[in-house]
Amino acid sequence: MRYSVQTSSSLAAAVEAAVKRAAVSLLCRQSAEGFWWAHLTADTTLESDYILTQLWLHSPVNGIWDPPTRGKIDRAVASMLARQLEDGGFNIYLHGPSEINASIKAYFALKLAGLSPADSRMERLRTRILEMGGMQAANSYVRINLSLFGLYPRENCATIPPEIILLPFKFIYQMSSWTRAIVIPLSILHAANPNRPVPCGFSVDELCLPGAPVRPAADIHYFSWRNFFLWLDRALKVYERFAPKFIRNHAIKKCADWMIEHFDGSDGLGAIYPSMQYAIMALDVLGYGPEHPLRRQAEAEFNALMVDDDRHGFYMQPCFSPVWDTAIAAYALGESGVAPTSALSRVADWLLKKEVRRKGDWSKKRPHVEPSGWAFEFNNESYPDVDDTAMVLLAFEHARASDQPAQRACARRALDWILAMQGKDGGWAAFDVDNCWSVLSHVPFADHNAMLDPSCPDITGRVLEALISCGVNPEHQAVRRAVRYLLRAQEADGSWYGRWGVNYIYGTFLALRGLRATGMSENEPCIQQALEFIRAYQNQDGGWGESCASYDESRFVPNSSTPSQTAWATLALLAGGDMRSESLYNGIEYLLRTQKPDGAWDEGYSTGTGFPRVFYLCYTEYRNMFPLLALSTYLKRANVLDESSSGMARFTCAGN
């Protein structure tokens, strides 16, 4: 295909029209207060855990389980069955294969809700579970959940003692923030050793694979951290039988105090589903009855994650994402140049109210830094995160608050906070600094694959872009260290790993934007190699798609094209200085072709990452915000190139 000046001009006109439609569509979903808040969806494990939580809250009477939430449980069951795969199992990302933990959780929940094991859907599910290794192949959290009801031997579960909070070297702060918020309430449950009742005759023994080991075995013939922690786990089980009671009680109190302290200023413990679920259970075993204000608050916040209506059906959200959604939407609209000033002003006013001004867990390693930044959710003051803060600062590039001096002061604080959160390796992580004790990845309850929160290329790239947009000199020491980090982190194929989005396309787009913002030449080998990586994986329809399986394979795994990933790839090409390649034009044309008349796009895959290889997310506005940003960026670059070329032949690309 060969592009001429005329076809390029008509393409630019089409892009301009698409940008206007997309901007209007996005603006229609802005709240009166100024924020955007799109639903965040995940897999059926959330609905399964919701049903498990109802069993905890409403025990069977005389062996019969008839909870007052039966109507919602039935809708949860219908939602889950609608997502059952042909082979009987359940997956953890859209169109992905059956996954053992999601399938076991689903079987438990469906059977508990009343489906007979003889039901053909249950038979297929049970068969698939056994093919994948049965109950013995489940991760530690599935086993722990079932052990709470006596459905799995407690001695075969990972030990999570409350004494973990007493360990030196700020031990709990060496774990990722989300692990910390899960483990603390779970350790309280562990100490209580509950055996909650189940309906008469209920079990899941049929999921155990005959002959398979019931717990990981340590190899005594060689040392490894895995073997060390397996032996330590056995030692802890012995310790628990003889430990002084005053130590255990002291540890439980410390955990309870920590948990309750972290309720303050938050929409639930950690403002994420798993920790909120375990917090309810922990309050229960601590003696907080159903009418206690703390317990009622915890349950209300957990139930607020529920979506249950005729339009969307029933599902549980893993958390809320208003600050994140708002910052990206505002930046994309600002780049488009067509958003009303008043709409962006409302954004800035709302974001100023959401600045975190109290010290959270991050301050354990940065005690003398003034608090600032933004959390992901409406309220989560213990956990502002670097990624959201960088995105808000980028949004401030276009969104001007009613009180400009207050906004400038806020941006200055946030910038200083981000600079203080840079790690020793030169990169940035999400919630903590130097959260990289790799040995912790071998503990028995680390199999959620997110025990740590190390620096990652995607956040580091976004932070670099934000720093430069805020006026930080490219020669600033923090910028230079970050550039060196990204150069070290580049993969052999030219890509960068994406921790918080799927995957190498996401990481590469953000790393390129960060490096180019610092003034790095497009002719540098690292830039050209990254562009070649992007071009190499373009689909025949002109778009890009990457499967969540890329995390399992540690390499790019292609998938059907999606609007969000096509936008990321297009943004990567533009960041690298590509304005003339066939790949770029075909990517732009894919976005134009797939845009709906109302200005939005459809997307049927998971492109957000929670825990790689374990938990994925569907950000339901990614499909609209990032294409708008990509098309707007293209249009701005095209106009600049048009002006600089001064009437010469432009946008010429010789293709095959």
Give residue-wise pLDDT tens across range 155-176.
899 999 999 999 999 999 999 9
Contact 330, 383 (CB under 8 A): no
Tokens standing for residue 391: 């995105």
Tell me how many degrees the CA angle 126-128-134 measures, rounded to the nearest 5.
70
- Of the chain, the percentage scoring pLDDT greater than 70 comes to 95
Q: What is the pLDDT of residues 249-262, one digit of tens each?
A: 999 999 999 999 99
Collect all residues with Cβ–Cβ distance below 8 Å to 553 and sequence separation of at least 6.
Answer: none
Name which of 451-465, 471-485, 628-642 the model is least confident about. 628-642
Q: Is the pLDDT of residue 656 over 80?
A: no
Cα gap 165→438, rounded to integer Å: 19
- Could you tell me the pTM of the whole model? 0.94
Catalytic residue chosen out of the listed positions 267, 349, 387, 425: 387
506-517 mean pLDDT: 98
Positive or negative, the CA dihedral 223, 226, 232, 237 is negative
Whole-number Cα distances in Å, 125 to 107, 201, 441: 7, 20, 31
Q: What is the pLDDT of residues 565-589, one digit of tens each?
A: 999 999 999 999 999 899 999 999 9
Q: Is the pLDDT of residue 10 over 70?
A: yes
Considering only CA atoms, which of 512, 506, 534, 525 is closest in space to residue 461? 512
Tell me how many degrees the CA angle 452-453-457 measures, rounded to the nearest 5.
130
Q: Is the pLDDT of residue 6 over 70?
A: no
Cα gap 181→164, rounded to integer Å: 13
529-543 mean pLDDT: 98
Residue 525 has a pLDDT of 97
CA dihedral (492, 494, 500, 502) in degrees, to 10, reads -100
Q: Which residue has the higher pLDDT, 197 or 310?
A: 197
Q: What is the pLDDT of residues 36-54, one digit of tens each?
A: 999 999 999 999 999 999 9
Contact 643, 635 (CB under 8 A): no
Cα gap 487→518, rounded to integer Å: 13
297-320 mean pLDDT: 95
Cα gap 82→521, rounded to integer Å: 50
624-639 mean pLDDT: 95
The label of the residue with tokens 């929670």 reads 610
Long-range contacts of 222-231 (CB under 8 A, 24+ apart): 224/442, 225/439, 225/442, 226/442, 228/442, 229/442, 229/443, 229/444, 230/444
Which of the four pLDDT bands, split at 50, 70 and 90, describes residue 652? very low
Collect all residues with Cβ–Cβ distance below 8 Å to 27 and sequence separation of at least 6.
Answer: 333, 339, 340, 343
pLDDT averaged over the chain?
Answer: 93
Residue 218 has a pLDDT of 59
Q: Is the pLDDT of residue 279 over 50?
A: yes
100-107 mean pLDDT: 98
Catalytic-residue membership of 387: yes
Considering only CA atoms, which of 388, 401, 406, 408 is closest in space to residue 343? 401
Residue 220 has a pLDDT of 56
Tell me how many degrees the CA angle 138-143-145 measures, rounded to the nearest 5.
130
Residue 232 has a pLDDT of 85
Considering only CA atoms, which of 380, 330, 317 is closest in space to residue 354? 380
Name which of 240-249, 259-268, 531-540 the model is least confident about. 240-249
Q: Give the bridge partners for 608, in sequence order.
A: 501, 617
Q: Where are the beta strands (DSSP E) in 64-191?
A: none
210-233 mean pLDDT: 75
The length of the chain, given as a count of residues: 656
Residue 8 has a pLDDT of 67
The burial of 355, by beta-carbon neighbours within 10 Å (0-12 exposed, 13-18 middle, 19 or more buried), is given as buried
Q: What is the pLDDT of residues 375-426, one digit of tens each?
A: 999 999 999 999 999 999 999 999 999 999 999 999 999 999 999 999 999 9
The burial of 422, by beta-carbon neighbours within 10 Å (0-12 exposed, 13-18 middle, 19 or more buried), is given as buried
Residue 65 has a pLDDT of 97
Q: Is the pLDDT of residue 647 over 50?
A: no
Residue 640 has a pLDDT of 67
Structural domains of the chain sorted by starting position, each given as residue range(s) with its CATH number in brackets: 1-30+490-656 (1.50.10.20), 45-316 (1.50.10.20)
- Return the number of other C-beta atoms located less than 10 Å from residue 2's C-beta: 10
539-563 mean pLDDT: 97
Q: Is the pLDDT of residue 445 over 60?
A: yes
Cα of 282 vs its chain's centroid, Å:
25
Question: DSSP secondary-structure letter at 175?
Answer: S
- Return the number of other C-beta atoms located less than 10 Å from residue 11's C-beta: 18
229-242 mean pLDDT: 85
Positive or negative, the CA dihedral 234, 239, 240, 241 is positive
455-467 mean pLDDT: 98
- Of the chain, the percentage scoring pLDDT greater than 90 comes to 86
Residue 216 has a pLDDT of 67
